[in-house]
Amino acid sequence: MSKRQAWNTILVFCILIFGFTAATLIKPPTEFSETENRSLAQMPKFNVDTLLSGEFESDYETYLTDQFVLRDAWIGLKTDVERAAQKRESKDIYFAEDGYLIERHTGAFATELAQQNIHTLGQFVQQYQGQFGAGHMTVMVAPNAVEILESKLPPFAPRTDEVAYLEQLAGALPGEVWFDTAKILREHDQEELYYRTDHHWTTEAAFYVYREWARAQGFAVPEKENFEIRTVTEEFEGTIQAKLGIHGRKDAIRLYLPREDLFYTVQENDAPEVGYSVYDYTALDTKDKYAVYFGGNQALIKLCMRTDSDRKLLVLKDSYAHCFVPFLLGEFKEVDMIDLRYYNQKLSERIAREGYTDVLFLYNASGFAEDRSVAKLLG
C-alpha cells in the first residue's frame, strides 16, 4: 500500500468515527422510539457531583447509544450478520424454532431488586389479606416464553433461574393467594401462547388462565364457543423484533369478543370523559398494535359494568393484564386497573377510600422482578 493510500484509509476511518459522532451530537435528540416502543435516553445534566460519582459518564454513554445516528439501521445490520453466521442468539434473544424470538432475561431474577420485590409483595399481601378475606386476593405472576416454550429453544440453551424465582415468590405468599399460571400454560404449550416477535402472552394464553381462575372463584367457566374470536391484524411486529432491528415474521392479534352483549363504560385517569369499549382499534394503524387493548398503558383505568354483582375489583398490573381483564366483564360491578409505573398517588389511601372487595395482582415474571415501582405497593 502506498503512503497516499494509507492516508486515504486513515482519513476515511476518521470521517466514519468522528463524522457519525458529530452527526449524533448535532441532530436533535429523539424522545421516543416507535420501533422499540420505549422512551430513549436524553442528554444528562452535568454537575460536579454526577461527574465525580461516575453517574454522568454512565448516563452519557447510554445517551450516545440511544441517540446514535442511523441507530436502527446499524442494529438491523448487526443482527443480519449474526444470523448469516448461524448464531443462535443476539442481544440476549434466542432465534428459536417456528420463527420465535425468545428473550433469555439473563440476570433479571438474581438482583437485589428482584429479591426486594418478593419481600414487598409479601408485605402487601400480609397487610391486606385480613381485610379482603379468603378467595378475594389473588397473585398471578405469569412465566415468560423462555420457560413455557423451552422445547423451541436452540439445543443446549442454558436454563434460566426463572422457575426457581417463581417458586421462591410462591413460597413467600399464602397458598390461597398464589395462583399457578405456569401449570396451566404448560398444559397448552403446543398452542400459540406467546407472540413470536413480542414479549407478551397472547389472548389465547390469557383465556386458558382465566378459565381456571374463574373456576376457582366460582364464576361461570367460559368456553371458546362463548366468543367470536376475531383476528384484527396479521401485521404485528413486537418489541423483541424491534430490539434486533429486523423485519421478518409478523404476528396476528386475536380478540375474544363475547357473543353475549355486555354494557360498561371505560374511564381513564379519573377524566370526565368515558368510553364504551376496552379496545382502541385506531392502534392497529400504528407501530404499537398491542395498544389495541385499552389504548396502551395508563396509570388508572376504571371499568363500570351493568351487572347484578356487588363486587369491586382492584387490578395491580403490568401490560400482561390488558388481554386478561376483558374476560372479567360481567363478574364485577367495577374493575379498577392501576399500573404502578405511572400511578403516583398513595395506593393505601385509594384502597381505604374505594371499598374494593377483591384484589388481583397480575404481572409477567421478568416485568415483576425488574419493576422498581413495586415499592409503591406499600405507599
The amino acid at residue 89 is E
pLDDT at res. 14: 55
- Hunting for cell 465525580 — which residue is that? 52
- Hunting for cell 396476528 — which residue is that? 252
Q: Mean of the pLDDT values across residues 358-365? A: 98
* pLDDT tens digits, one per residue of 136-183: 999 999 999 999 999 999 998 988 899 999 999 999 999 999 999 999
pLDDT at res. 163: 95
pLDDT at res. 19: 53
Q: Where are the domains of the chain?
A: 3-69, 97-378
Q: What is the CA radius of gyration of the chain?
A: 23
Distances (CA, A) of 347 to 114, 290, 334, 350, 352: 21, 27, 17, 5, 9
- Strands of the 89-90 sheet, one edge to the other: 89-90, 93-95, 101-103
* pLDDT tens digits, one per residue of 103-116: 999 999 999 999 99
Q: Which of 76-85, 243-252, 332-341 has the highest mean pLDDT?
A: 332-341
- 270, three cell numbers: 379519573
376 vs 35: which has the higher pLDDT: 376
Q: Mean of the pLDDT values across residues 218-225? A: 96
How far is it, in rounded angstroms, from Cα 124 to Cα 377?
A: 6
How far is it, in rounded angstroms, from Cα 327 to Cα 348?
A: 27
Residue 85: pLDDT band by 50, 70, 90 thresholds?
very low
Checking if the pLDDT of 36 tops 70, the result is no
How far is it, in rounded angstroms, from Cα 217 to Cα 205?
A: 18
| 127, HSE (Cβ side, Cα atoms, 13 Å) | 14
Lowest-pLDDT range of 36-40, 156-160, 192-196, 266-270: 36-40
pLDDT at res. 245: 82
- 89, three cell numbers: 442468539
The conformational region for residue 231 under phi > 0 = left, psi -120 to 50 = alpha, else beta, is beta
Neighbour-count burial of 118, counting CB atoms closer than 10 A to its CB (0-12 exposed, 13-18 middle, 19+ buried): buried
pLDDT at res. 84: 47
* pLDDT tens digits, one per residue of 59-80: 767 766 666 555 554 444 444 4
How far is it, in rounded angstroms, from Cα 294 to Cα 279?
A: 5
pTM score, whole prediction: 0.81
The phi, psi pair for 100, rounded to 5°, reads: -75, 140
Checking if the pLDDT of 1 tops 60, the result is no
* pLDDT tens digits, one per residue of 273-288: 899 999 999 999 999 9
Neighbour-count burial of 287, counting CB atoms closer than 10 A to its CB (0-12 exposed, 13-18 middle, 19+ buried): middle
pLDDT at res. 24: 54
- Hunting for cell 484509509 — which residue is that? 9
